[in-house]
Structures are given as C-alpha cells and as structure tokens.
C-alpha cells in the first residue's frame, strides 16, 4: 500500500468507526515469536506484510493499524499484553473504536483442533484457553466472534504449557501457515457475505 494511501487510511480510521477490529493474541517479546501460542500474531502479521503496513503502539496494550478490505475499514491489532491478560487489550480496543462486541474478531491458537484446521464461531466458551477466558471476563460476555487456528494436541503425558510455548516442527508450521491463509480468506467472506456464509465455507 503506497505511503499516501497509508496516511489516508490512518486519517480515516481516526474519524470513522471501523467495520471490524481483528485482535490477534499472543505473548510479546522475541522469546515467544515463533511459538504455537503466538499463532494469533502470525495471522495479523500476514495481513500487515501483504498490505505493507507497520502496526503502531497504543498505551502499551496493543499495536494496531488500519487497512481496507474491499470497501470495509478494518483495524488490525496485536495485543502487547501476555496471553493470560488479553482482556485488557480487548477492552481497550472496544473503547477506543466504539465498536460493538460483534465487531471484535479474536484470532488465537487452539490445541483442540488438528494442526492446520480453522474454526469460525460467533460466540462460545473459553475452551480452556486462558486468553479467551481473560477476554470473556473483561467484556462480561462470550458473544464475540473468533477464529480458532489448530496447532494440534500435545498428546498424553506432554506438558500443555510447554507445548503451546514450544516451536512447531517445519511441517506443522507449513500447515499452520496454510490455515492462516484460509483464515484470511474467511475474513474477506465474512465482511462481504456475512459470518454465517464464512462459517459454512471454511469450517
């Protein structure tokens, strides 16, 4: 995206409510960059890379930037909090952009899905994910859309925390990147045709 277009989008995002805010959750810092628990960050980074934009820091809670998908203004955001307190980032974004909870799309890793699978949902429980539990607690509701990206199960006898904070093998990473590509396509369908259509196509 050209520099002038970036400037226009930034200006527009300050004056108009976005159609969607995408929050990828993960852990900040170089130690966690390539871990399974940071798949939500990988998703946002993919969009940022293709749009040639840089996310900017806001109050130590998020990094964000506006993009345009077709005619829709979308805010890309990554939490700067640790996963277990992702609710702080979600609460900040809801207040900053004055959006409904249904306009906050959370993207995160899920050990209950096979590697490379995605699931779109309009609402639901935390499913054992501490980041989602934190968001539900902060916004006092389970009624926000999310994209779950499968990183596979640690298996019997394997420490769950160590697994999600571990780096996937090369073949796993390839499947996860394919899932991220599908998830990005699902967002475009969600914006143009609605989340129900997107769920039917991609789940």
pLDDT given at position 14: 56
Q: In terms of pTM, does the model score above 0.85?
A: yes
Strands (E), the chain: 20-24, 56-58, 62-69, 72-79, 104-110, 118-121, 146-150
Q: Considering 37, 72, 140, 175, which one is annotated as catalytic?
A: 37
pLDDT given at position 1: 43
> 138, 87 in Cβ contact below 8 A?
yes
What is the pLDDT tens value at each position of the chain, 203 positions in all? Answer: 443 344 445 545 555 789 999 999 999 999 999 999 999 999 999 999 988 999 998 878 999 999 999 999 999 999 999 999 999 999 999 999 999 999 999 999 999 999 999 999 999 999 999 999 999 999 999 999 999 999 999 988 889 999 999 999 999 999 999 999 999 999 999 999 999 999 999 99
Structural domain of residue 51, as residue ranges?
A: 3-202
User: Is 129 labeled as catalytic in the residue annotation?
Assistant: no
For the purposes of burial, counting CB atoms within 10 Å of the CB of 19, is it exposed (0-12), middle (13-18) or buried (19 or more)? middle
pLDDT given at position 7: 42
72-79 and 20-24 beta bridge pairing = parallel
> 85, 77 in Cβ contact below 8 A?
no
Number of domains in the chain: 1
What distance in Å separates the CA atoms of residue 120 and residue 141, rounded to the nearest whole number?
Answer: 17
What distance in Å separates the CA atoms of residue 9 and residue 14, rounded to the nearest whole number?
Answer: 9
For the purposes of burial, counting CB atoms within 10 Å of the CB of 151, is it exposed (0-12), middle (13-18) or buried (19 or more)? buried
Instruction: CATH number of the domain at 51, please.
Output: 3.40.50.1470
Q: Which of 22, 47, 42 shows the shortest CA–CA distance to 32?
A: 42
**DSSP secondary-structure letter at 142?**
S
């Amino acid at each position: 995206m050209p520099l002038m277009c970036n400037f226009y989008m930034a200006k527009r995002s300050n004056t108009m409510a976005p159609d969607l805010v995408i929050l990828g959750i993960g852990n900040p810092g170089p130690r966690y960059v390539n871990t399974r628990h940071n798949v939500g960050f990988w998703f946002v980074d993919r969009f940022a890379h293709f749009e040639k934009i840089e996310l900017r820091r806001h109050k130590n809670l998020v990094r964000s930037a506006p993009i345009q998908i077709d005619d829709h203004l979308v805010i890309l955001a990554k939490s700067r909090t640790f996963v277990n307190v992702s609710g702080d980032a979600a609460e900040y974004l809801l207040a900053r952009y004055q959006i409904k909870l249904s306009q906050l799309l959370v993207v995160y890793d899920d050990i209950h899905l096979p590697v490379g699978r995605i699931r779109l949902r309009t609402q639901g429980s935390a499913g054992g994910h501490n980041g989602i539990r934190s968001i539900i607690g902060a916004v006092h509701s389970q009624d926000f859309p999310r994209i779950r990206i499968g990183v596979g199960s640690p298996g019997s006898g394997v420490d769950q925390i160590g697994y999600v904070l571990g780096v996937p093998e090369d073949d796993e990473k390839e499947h996860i990147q394919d899932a991220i590509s599908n998830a990005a396509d699902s967002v475009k369908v969600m914006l143009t045709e609605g989340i129900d259509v997107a769920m039917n196509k991609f789940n």
